[in-house]
A and B are shown apart, each in its own frame.
Chain A
């Protein structure tokens, strides 16, 4: 075991630890942020040469992270963040988990989630796609093996952060959308965090793919106050808040008896204006929803639901 090695090392390889060494240790710890045990080991192995020790730590960081990751493997990760990344005609929604929500609020972790989202975006852009709307799922194994811009894999980066925060972390899942011209994508994450980031981060996330027909005379008035983009964002907010199971189709699906149990999006009360249903709102603004994805951090997943819905999505898109 890793920690066992350190203890043994300190006990056996005891050297006179004077005041200047103490300053070095303090400085190294401040600069690198690695644990005291590791900083001390780095200094001892490098004869208290600061730059060598720092280099050793950086070289070892990956390995130290991996050994910590192996040690913590299997511990339950039910907290975390959902990230929604958008770029041109691509959108991704990614979930990364950790053990406590303290870590979920920490910058080290949120940067990792941002990195995962942008990596998935790049991956989506590189995959050859069909002519309409394509959607595909990335599971934990694929996510781990994705290459980041610096040549390392996402799981390497994951291990580095595990080494820093000392909690088990896991890349759980991602859904990627690639839209052809004319199809719009909107994303939303809730609750919106207090800090700025390149992607949207929250406990919930949604991506909606929709089409906006050119509005007729009367519709222009309805859309007057809201741009199509804003309606897209509100649709995502609706998906997060009302948790629809499917979009639904007039004629095929019937509204539920109790409006509170409605799981068909078009029959649900529109979150931002409960006086109308989503279907009515869409009709009045000449917008049609093609597909959506909703992530709730830590939610239980039913087997294969994602696969089924992606099939439906392809059919709608095609």
Chain B
């Protein structure tokens, strides 16, 4: 049974989705139908065989068991030793006392996985260094990585690019780096494998070429760590520079070069609203988990969503029924807002620093349509596809438009334009699903916010939509 720690609001509203995602992350619970969650400082138990969320115990969770987590993945040519490297990492880290060894065969025959109903060919391995816990993803193809990103199974914070010293980069290495860019990987570590098979001079050249290529794709070719070694030797227990030591330097480079995703406390604050109620004699209190930034008493704020833009200010902040002067991202809190009637607040709205965000009803998105066997449609989607859109705690009617004259087949991902019935605050990277006849047919993420388009008489099918680029 895996224990995960997530925000209370997330847990309360979308527990089932989140839990599925998290359990995939943690690999070990893949075969269980139950997961224990640590949330709101208490343990909860989720059983999705019958879609039930149960309260387990009120035992307070010790905060110190928190270890930083990071998601990485391997990308590289099929014969350059990605699987061997992954196995070697777990072996070396097991010797260091942090991890469990996962053999080549185990990694190689990983079953297909389902995240949000989407079948993905992916291998997930987990290991630990002294510093962090890692979830390691390896997919066979470009579209699997895209599906992995869109369905949110495991967002990759960094990638290990594997290149064999015997071959050097391959023509398709360009496609590998393009993919890394596309799925938003900011930091890369390169492992030059099979260095035992060539002279050191050749390895030098492979390194120079890789650095040039990284520069071509907008990565920093100078600071990117490039580690030389032989995953095979390491796996065989070789203790030389090329063997075990190369894996240790690789993990050190990953620890240092790929930063742990942190909560953003410097940007203007954002509080997605999960609930609202009235405190007699005081006013309206909105509840949610602060997504980013720091909120302070008397901050100028704005209530946004469902075509509403209402200025207000923060009269009071409460955490666990105690009034506090300020709160940081990640905290579940209630905010007393000035001059807002309860009727004006709807779940799905957002409270933010005044002027920092705007509402829009139109955005570009990266979307994946489920195949029929995944429960999706059997027919392709063309423009003016109108269905219900679900994101976070809200849902609304939307229209999907594809590139002029094109279509999307079930099982394909594409860039589309989505127009919502009413203006909402959307954040880049926000995930959503589209449902048709109570079945999830598509899942996607917001890629780019576009200017609002005006709807006449709320008729979505009559709107003129800007062209889909890309």
A-side interface residues toward B, CB under 8 Å?
A: 3, 6-7, 10, 17, 21-22, 25-26, 29, 33, 35-37, 40, 79, 99-103, 105-108, 164-167, 190-192, 194, 203-204, 237, 240-242, 260, 271-272
Contacts and interface: CB of A to CB of B under 8 A. Distances in A.
B222 interface: no
B209 A29 contact: yes
B138 to A, nearest CB: 12
B334 interface: no
B308 interface: no
Given A10-B199, A271-B382, A36 B205 contact: yes
Contacts of A36: 165-168, 198, 202, 205-206
A271 B205 contact: no
Interface stretch (B123-131, B172-180, B353-361): B172-180
A241 B209 contact: no
A21 B170 CA distance: 22
Contacts of B79: 166
A165 B170 contact: yes
Contact of B172 (A25, A100, A204): A100
Interface stretch (B404-412, B418-426, B460-468): B404-412
Contact of B171 (A3, A6, A107): A107
B77 interface: yes
A148 B318 CA distance: 76
Given A36-B166, A40-B202, A105-B175, A260 B378 contact: yes
A22 B204 contact: yes
B56 interface: no
Contacts, number: 108
Given A29-B205, A100-B172, A166-B170, 17 more contacts: A17-B199, A17-B201, A22-B204, A25-B205, A36-B167, A37-B202, A79-B141, A100-B78, A102-B176, A106-B174, A166-B77, A167-B78, A190-B407, A191-B406, A191-B412, A194-B470, A271-B379
B197 A7 contact: yes
A25 B175 CA distance: 24
Nearest to A21: B201
Interface in B205-240: 205-206, 208-209
Contacts of B205: 22, 25-26, 29, 36
B142 interface: yes
Contact of A106 (B143, B166, B168, B172): B172
Nearest to B411: A203
Contacts of A105: 142, 172, 175
A22 B199 CA distance: 11
Contacts of A272: 382
Interface string B159-195: 0000001111011101110010000000000000000
Given A29-B168, A164-B171, A190-B407, A101 B142 contact: yes
Given A36-B206, A241-B380, A103 B172 contact: yes
Interface in B367-381: 378-380
Classify the interface of chain A: helix, strand, loop or mixed. helix
12 contacts: A10-B197, A29-B168, A100-B140, A102-B175, A105-B142, A105-B175, A165-B171, A166-B78, A166-B167, A192-B406, A241-B380, A260-B379
A286 to B, nearest CB: 23
Nearest to B173: A102
A100 B142 contact: yes
Contact of A165 (B140, B168, B172, B176): B172
Contacts of B199: 10, 17, 40
Nearest to A273: B382
Nearest to A71: B79
Contacts of A103: 171-172, 175
Given A26-B205, A35-B167, A106-B171, A241 B77 contact: no
A191 B204 CA distance: 40
Contacts of B170: 164-166
A257 to B, nearest CB: 15
Given A99-B78, A241-B407, A10 B198 contact: yes
Contacts of B409: 190, 204, 240-241
B414 interface: yes
Contacts of B198: 10, 36-37, 40
Given A40-B202, A100-B140, A271-B380, A35 B77 contact: no
